[in-house]
Amino acid sequence: MSNIKKWEDLDHWVEIDLDKCVGAGECVEVCPADVYELNNGKVTAENIGECTDCLACQDVCPTNAILRHSAWD
Query: Which spans of this chain sit near ligand SF4 (rule: CB under 6 A)?
Result: 30-33, 35, 51-57, 69
Q: How far is the CB of 55 from ligand SF4 (least distance, A)?
A: 5
Which residue pairs, CB below 8 angstroms and at least 24 apart, start in 23-30? 24/61, 24/62, 24/63, 26/57, 26/60, 26/61, 26/62, 27/57, 27/60, 27/61, 27/66, 29/60, 30/56, 30/57, 30/60
Beta carbon nearer to ligand SF4, 33 or 38: 33
| 1 or 63: CB nearest ligand SF4 | 63
Q: Minimum Å distance from CB 24 to ligand SF4?
A: 14
Residue 62 CB, nearest approach to ligand SF4 (Å): 15
Closer residue to ligand SF4, CB minimum distance, 1 or 16:
16
